[in-house]
Amino acid sequence: MSLSEVETSVKEIWEMFKDTDARFKETDVKFKETDRRLDKRFVETDKRIKELATLFTGQWGKLIESLAESGLLEQLQSRGIKVTGLSRRLTNRKNGHHIELDFLLTNETEVVLGEVKTTLKSNDVRAFIKKLGEFLYFYPNYNGFKIYGAMIGLRLEEESEIYAYRQGLFVFKVGGKGMLQLLNDDKFTPKDFASV
Range of the domain at 142: 64-195
Query: Beta partners for 112?
Result: 105, 148
What's the pLDDT score for residue 12?
75
Q: What is the pLDDT of residue 56?
A: 55
CA pair distance 117, 182, nearest whole angstrom: 15
Question: Bridge partners of 103?
Answer: 88, 114
Give the pLDDT confidence score for residue 180 in this predicted structure: 85
- pLDDT for residue 68 is more than 60: yes
Residue 36 lies in a domain: no
3-state secondary structure of 2: coil
Is 151 within a domain? yes
Higher pLDDT, 141 or 31: 141
Structural domain contains residue 85: yes
What is the rounded radius of gyration, in angstroms, for the C-alpha atoms of the chain?
A: 32
* Structural domains in the chain (count): 1
138 to 90, 108, 124, 131: CA distances (angstroms): 11, 19, 20, 10
Q: What is the structure's pLDDT at 52?
A: 58
Is 9 within the bounds of a domain? no
Mean of per-residue pLDDT scores for the chain? 84
In a domain? residue 21: no
Predicted local distance difference test score (pLDDT) of residue 128 = 97
Distance CA 155, CA 176 (A): 12
Is 28 part of any domain? Answer: no
* pLDDT for residue 164 is more than 80: yes
Residue 139 lies in a domain: yes
Q: What is the dihedral of CA 39, 43, 44, 50, to 10 degrees?
A: 150
Instruction: Decide if pLDDT at 108 tops 80.
Output: yes
Please give the sequence-ordered ranges of beta strands (E in DSSP) within the chain, or none if there are none: 85-94, 97-106, 110-120, 146-156, 170-174, 180-182
Bridge partner list, 98: 93
Residue 31 or 158, more confident: 158
CATH at residue 160: 3.40.1350
Strand order in the sheet with 180-182: 85-94, 97-106, 110-120, 146-156, 170-174, 180-182
Residue 121 is predicted with a pLDDT of: 96
Percent of the residues in the chain that have a pLDDT greater than 70, as a whole number: 80
**Residue predicted with more confidence, 22 or 38:** 22
Q: 1 lies in a domain? A: no
Q: What is the mean pLDDT of residues 56-71?
A: 64
Residue 106: C-alpha distances to residues 13, 52, 144, 156, 161 (Å): 89, 35, 13, 26, 23
